[in-house]
Structure 1
Amino acid sequence: MIAEYSSLSGEIAAFPLFIKSRNDGRLVCKASRHNNTDIQSSLSQGLDLKVIVPVEDVTIAPHPASETVWEGQTLSLQCRESRGTYVSYEWLRNERPYDTTGDTLIIHRLSVQHTGNYTCVASNRFNDTMTFSCSDVISVQVKEYVSKPEISLEVVKLGDAGFRAIVTCRSLKGSPLITFSLLNDTDVITKNTTEGTSAIFHVPVELNRVTGRVRCNASNEGNWVLSEPVNLTGDLSATPMEVIALVFCGFLLMVIVGASCFLFWSTKRRNNSWKHGINHEIQSDAMPRMNFPADVSFKPQTVEMKTFIVNFAD
């Protein structure tokens, strides 16, 4: 019972109330005869009373409590207000509406795409008056587990100091810090913790001698993965790029030699042709030249021989 009123002359009962949030709900008026139980009491129709309390002091309660979570986990964000009734909720991620309703945001199987700044906006309305309250921004950082690393090695000569294998361990993804370890069977040869997704190790080797199989181990936040094994050997065999470079150099050398031979042959032939032309001109200039009249015939002619005797007087 909220209040009671006694009417002696049949006047309408009026109940002055100081409304509080606990008064929210259905109100019913009950009328009964005072001190007379023979008359049955009667009840009025119900009246739904909405007590609107402006929303205030909105906060977000995350679970897990840490703002840093790992991919695959489930994240729960609950919007809480210190006071307020008939509250509506809107979630924002990076200041853009997030497709969800209600006071609790649940994200299953987190991924890096869920990284961002989350805000809860709580509001309620009284007639034409809208009341808003925004929570502080909560930053969610979703970290990635390191992926299976790939291992590669290259052998280099160190002058007179022998040979060294440069071993590279590389993962495609992973949030720092990542610890890379170089393993020989089950023993750790060396390790390196880095903020990147790769690490380089230098290991002494002997030429053309297999010293064992090695693997890369990558780990972060309790997660660890192994690479495929490779033989650690001082093999100076060329890499694919080196093979291509050697083939190209050989082809280029063949082109240079062929061009040189062709140029030599062409020059020699040109010189021989020049010398033959000079000799021909010299022979032509050395022969006597005879000029004959145009009417002279070179056909055979009959020549008559006559003898003349000449006497000279004393």
Structure 2
Amino acid sequence: MLSWSPLANLFWDLQCKLYFLLVGICSALKLTVPSHTIHGIEGQPLHLSVDYDFNATASEIQIIWLFERSQSNPKYLLGSVNQRVVPDLEYQHKFTLVPPNASLRINPLHLSDEGNYIVKVNVHGNGTIAASEKIQVAVDVPVTKPTVHTEPSSGVVEYVGNITLKCTVDRGTRVAYQWMKNGKRLHAGPNYTFSSNNATLLIVPVVKEDIGNYSCLVSNPVSAMESEIIAPTIYYGPYGLRVKSDKGLNIGAVFTVDVGEVVLFACSADSNPPNTYSWIQRDDNTTQVIKYGPHLEVVSDQVAQKTIDYMCCAFNNVTGRRDETHFTVVVMSVGLEKLAQKGKSLSSLAVITGISLFLILAMAFLFLWKRYRPHKVIQQKLQSRAEADYRKAQAFSGHESALDDFGIYEFITFPDLTSGSRVSSQSVPGPDFVTDQNMLSTVYEVIRHIPEQPQQDHQQCI
């Protein structure tokens, strides 16, 4: 293979630049590459695309491809003059020039092919113009599916143990590691620590909130793979101990049940592994375990007292932690009490309704009495009397003219308390008079008009 020394390469560039300054045609040739860094996959072909363009008259076009590694001299791969390719005999079946441009095809690509590829184009016409480009090629091996190992594999107790998760891959170059929890990216935190390359995750200390689905995502520029989900075993609890019942009325820690009811109580708490439960009854400052398990059945008509105190105790055998809750059961006739409350509510409503009706009727009666009082009725009757009644009043008074008799008369008869009755006549200013049980009668009348003159008097006036 021909070699191209760095000194010769430098001399070539200086010559082109000098020629540009003197002649001004060096810029007429332009090389274009998609990227100066390309990642290839081991075992697959790689295409290095290079286009060139110039605006000068050309009689010959020369293309040269060189390859160099770090701290080594460039090696000749192939060249062409007017599309006639002259390959290096060592690489004639691996490197191919792709006309009409200056593109290079590498097939197959190996790890040893990683390095810098230099392309040079010379155009000869009235003069010679040249240009060159360098492309860095990185060869990667696709990553395989990673595997996650947990230490310890048997599980740990919260606040006591630590967990180490290790991610490994069988094949892959330039592997990047990323940890996921419940499908989201996991970042470093107070209890999360990563190794220098993120391949190892350390959780110190372990708490209940660390429970979840963990996975490891590995990637490189040409591939990406994710591990299977792993859920570390964390022992915790008990937390949130509570008691519930299927019947009765629950207010706080007091359960009210009806006489004769069979009530089932359930005790539960969040824990891993599941808790063991015990039911304790307190009576006269003494306690006794009456049952084991999460459920307790109480028959209300078989208890000796109307108020019973109970306690549910939860214990985690692995964490060694326990919790307990106290509650009271009150046995009473809940149904009869509800009926009595309904009866009281109904009686109160009836009383309020009765009082309201009485007040309405009383106000109506008072209104009617004020509007139609008895003396007004009597006045209306007196005004509507016939003329004959006023004639009688004239004869009784002894006057010939009714004008002399116009006024108010009142006749009152009182019983004689000693020997009989006596009659007295007295003028009373007011029209109202209250009648006693011994009073015989009271009569009063008001004359409102003057009777007509006799016919003969009328003729004398004429």
TM-score, normalised with respect to structure 1: 0.52
Tell me which residue corresponds to 1:227. Answer: 324
Tell me which residue corresponds to 2:360. Answer: 266
Q: Is 87-96 or 131-140 further displaced after alignment?
A: 131-140
Shift of 1:144: 4.7
Mapped to 1, the partners of 2:205 and 2:327 lie a distance apart of 35
1:157 aligns to 2:261 (yes or no):
no
Mapped to 2, the partners of 1:189 and 1:55 lie a distance apart of 62
1:248-263 equivalence runs, <5 A: 254=348, 257-263=351-357
Which of 80, 87, 102 is residue 168 of structure 2 equivalent to?
A: 80
1:182 aligns to 2:279 (yes or no):
yes
3-state SS, counterpart of residue 205 of structure 2:
coil
Which of 170, 187, 205 is residue 109 of structure 1 equivalent to?
A: 205
Q: 1:87 to 1:272 in 2, by over 3 A?
A: closer
Asked if structure 2 preserves the Cα contact closer than 8 Å seen for 1:116 and 1:141, the reply is no
Shift of 1:176: 7.4
1:283 aligns to 2:384 (yes or no):
no
Asked if structure 1 preserves the Cα contact closer than 8 Å seen for 2:211 and 2:234, the reply is yes
Mapped to 1, the partners of 2:231 and 2:405 lie a distance apart of 128
1:182-261 equivalence runs, <5 A: 182-184=279-281, 187-193=288-294, 201-204=297-300, 205-206=302-303, 208=305, 213-220=309-316, 222=318, 223=320, 225-229=322-326, 235-236=331-332, 254=348, 257-261=351-355
Asked if structure 2 preserves the Cα contact closer than 8 Å seen for 1:92 and 1:98, the reply is yes
Higher relative contact order (CA 8 A, sep 6+): 1
Which of 226, 250, 267 is residue 134 of structure 1 equivalent to?
A: 226
Which of 215, 235, 240 is residue 119 of structure 1 equivalent to?
A: 215
Q: Quick check: which has more Rg, 1 or 2?
A: 2
Shift of 1:112: 4.5
Shift of 1:181: 2.6
Alignment-mate amino acid for residue 117 of structure 1: N
Shift of 1:61: 0.3
Asked if structure 2 preserves the Cα contact closer than 8 Å seen for 1:179 and 1:219, the reply is yes
Alignment-mate amino acid for residue 60 of structure 1: V
Which of 232, 239, 252 is residue 147 of structure 1 equivalent to?
A: 239
Cα displacement string for residues 191-215 of structure 1 (whole angstroms, at most 9, x for unaligned residues): 444xxxxx5642545464566x531
Mapped to 2, the partners of 1:275 and 1:207 lie a distance apart of 68
Q: 1:209 to 1:254 in 2, by over 3 A?
A: closer
Alignment-mate amino acid for residue 283 of structure 1: I
Alignment-mate amino acid for residue 332 of structure 2: L
Shift of 1:164: 5.9
Q: 1:237 to 1:300 in 2, by over 3 A?
A: closer
Asked if structure 1 preserves the Cα contact closer than 8 Å seen for 2:163 and 2:204, the reply is yes
Shift of 1:65: 1.7
Q: Is 250-259 or 219-228 further displaced after alignment?
A: 250-259
Cα displacement string for residues 2-33 of structure 1 (whole angstroms, at most 9, x for unaligned residues): xxxxxxxxxxxxxxxxxxx9xxxxxxxxxxxx
Asked if structure 1 preserves the Cα contact closer than 8 Å seen for 2:150 and 2:232, the reply is no
Cα displacement string for residues 99-127 of structure 1 (whole angstroms, at most 9, x for unaligned residues): 15421111223345433332212345xxx
Q: 1:95 to 1:107 in 2, by over 3 A?
A: same
3-state SS, counterpart of residue 314 of structure 2:
strand
Stretches of structure 1 lacking an aligned partner (at least 5 in a row): 1-20, 22-50, 194-198, 302-314
3-state SS, counterpart of residue 61 of structure 1:
strand
CA RMSD, Structure 1 to Structure 2 (Å): 4.7
Shift of 1:70: 5.7
Q: 1:61 to 1:284 in 2, by over 3 A?
A: same
Alignment-mate amino acid for residue 165 of structure 2: L
TM-score, normalised with respect to structure 2: 0.38
Q: 1:284 to 1:121 in 2, by over 3 A?
A: same
Tell me which residue corresponds to 1:62. Answer: 150
3-state SS, counterpart of residue 99 of structure 1:
coil
Asked if structure 2 preserves the Cα contact closer than 8 Å seen for 1:154 and 1:167, the reply is no
Mapped to 2, the partners of 1:175 and 1:227 lie a distance apart of 17
- Identical-pair percentage: 21
Mapped to 2, the partners of 1:56 and 1:220 lie a distance apart of 42
Tell me which residue corresponds to 1:41. Answer: none
Alignment-mate amino acid for residue 163 of structure 2: L
Shift of 1:78: 0.5
Stretches of structure 2 lacking an aligned partner (at least 5 in a row): 1-110, 112-138, 189-193, 244-252, 391-400, 407-462
Asked if structure 2 preserves the Cα contact closer than 8 Å seen for 1:167 and 1:203, the reply is no
1:291-302 equivalence runs, <5 A: none
Q: Is 248-257 or 136-145 further displaced after alignment?
A: 248-257
Mapped to 2, the partners of 1:288 and 1:57 lie a distance apart of 124
3-state SS, counterpart of residue 56 of structure 1:
coil
3-state SS, counterpart of residue 76 of structure 1:
strand
Alignment-mate amino acid for residue 182 of structure 2: N
Shift of 1:145: 1.5
Mapped to 1, the partners of 2:228 and 2:209 lie a distance apart of 21
